[in-house]
Amino acid sequence: MAGRYEPIDSPDETTLFPYHDLTPPTVATVARARQRIRQHLPETPLVRSEALSEALDADVLLKREDTLPTGAFKVRGGVNLVASLDEEFHDAGLLAASTGNHGQSIAWAGREFDVPVTIGVPEEANAGKVGALEQLGAEVIQYGEDYDEAREHIEDLATQREARYVHSGNEPKLLAGVGTAGLEILDERPDVDRVFCPVGGGTAAAGYCTTLGAMTDADVVGVQAAGAPAVYRAWQDETLDALDSVDTIAEGVATRVPFALPTEILQAGLADFRLVSEDAITDAVARLFETDRIVMEGACATAVAAAIQAGDELRGETVVLPISGRNIDREKFDRLLAESEY
Ligand SMILES: *Cc1c(COP(=O)(O)O)cnc(C)c1O
């Protein structure tokens, strides 16, 4: 088929291929994803934080996505996508660009279904992260000065190899898989008032909008770092314009370009969107270690920080905070604990 593996016009500034269908997930596609992933991934615990519940005079429930294999929620999406992958890609395999949890998710799912995976990372990528990807059986290509250069190289390879480029946001199967967390919460606690969700590309928050947000009275609140507000701006000003640069310690949410599909879902489904400072993120990492002995990434800490910032507003509510990931380097963790005022 001519052009099948050539990039096509995209509503945002990212690269899309003809197999990137931008139809939003529905409750039905999330329910199907749940059936698909259940043989491969455990459900995650929803655990009350005594310390945060007392501090906020609320019922604060932590959705422990850090207990999933790879230590982050993204693997839900990776497993759903690879479990339902078109046969034509089984041999050519999957390509993705990511120094973080997206790459690990696709590598883990590829190994689970015996589909070859190649992950592009910048030349200077942290050796620990490269090692973790290789341990999952992925081919790691170190290329370019930064994420964008690595990504462009991977997109070219996708054309050359006729392989499946897995976008980190414009993928209905990833969104539906990620949304399964919302259905799990609904089974246990249909009475949730609010979910604070970190937003990088917006897949996690889109999943909560599609499930808890659409099926219950819960308000889904998106949270970004004030130093990386691309999707906040997209949500508020209805634009898909990229930022020139971002600056935050929370690399898991340091997205420069809003993605069309999750952004559209957030524009329709988010009740509110908050920004948090670097100090608030640092304190949230230290605080959850101190009070709940949870090790979490800066990305995850944005949502915890937003709940703390909301303070009295949450009195009497049932609030869910996803513990979205635990993949923080020891060096960074030590530094954040040392710098924190908490
Ligand atoms: C990717 C990621 C986020 C942000 O999720 P998006 O779906 O990109 O908005 C938050 N926390 C962690 C740990 C992540 O890996």
Q: What is residue 305's predicted lDDT score, i.e. its pLDDT?
A: 98
Known catalytic residue at 129 = no
What order do you get walking across the sheet with 59-63 strand by strand?
A: 46-48, 59-63, 318-322, 194-198, 219-225, 272-276
Q: Is the CB of residue 257 below 6 angstroms from any atom belonging to ligand 1?
A: no
In this structure, what token pair is assigned to residue 313?
Answer: 């507003």
C-alpha 278 – ligand 1 centre gap (Å): 17
Cα(303) to ligand 1 centroid in Å equals 11
The one catalytic residue among 63, 74, 129, 173: 74
Domains defined for the chain, CATH in brackets: 29-72+172-339 (3.40.50.1100), 75-165 (3.40.50.1100)
Please give the full DSSP string across 239-296, using - where no structure is assigned: --PPPS----S-GGG---S--HHHHHHHHHH-SEEEEE-HHHHHHHHHHHHHHH----
Report how far ligand 1's centroid is from the alpha carbon of 289 (Å). 19
Task: Answer whether 201 contacts ligand 1 (Cβ < 6 A).
Answer: yes
Catalytic residue flag (residue 74): yes
What's the pLDDT score for residue 126?
84
Q: pTM of the full predicted structure? A: 0.97
pLDDT in tens, the chain (342 residues): 447 899 999 999 999 999 999 999 999 999 999 999 999 999 999 999 999 999 999 999 999 999 999 999 999 999 999 999 999 999 999 999 998 999 999 999 999 999 999 999 999 988 888 999 999 999 999 999 999 999 999 999 999 999 999 999 999 999 999 999 999 999 999 999 999 999 999 999 999 999 999 999 999 999 999 999 999 999 999 999 999 999 999 999 999 999 999 999 999 999 999 999 999 999 999 999 999 999 999 999 999 999 999 999 999 999 999 999 999 999 999 999 999 988
Q: Which atom of ligand 1 is nearest to the CA of 199?
A: 9
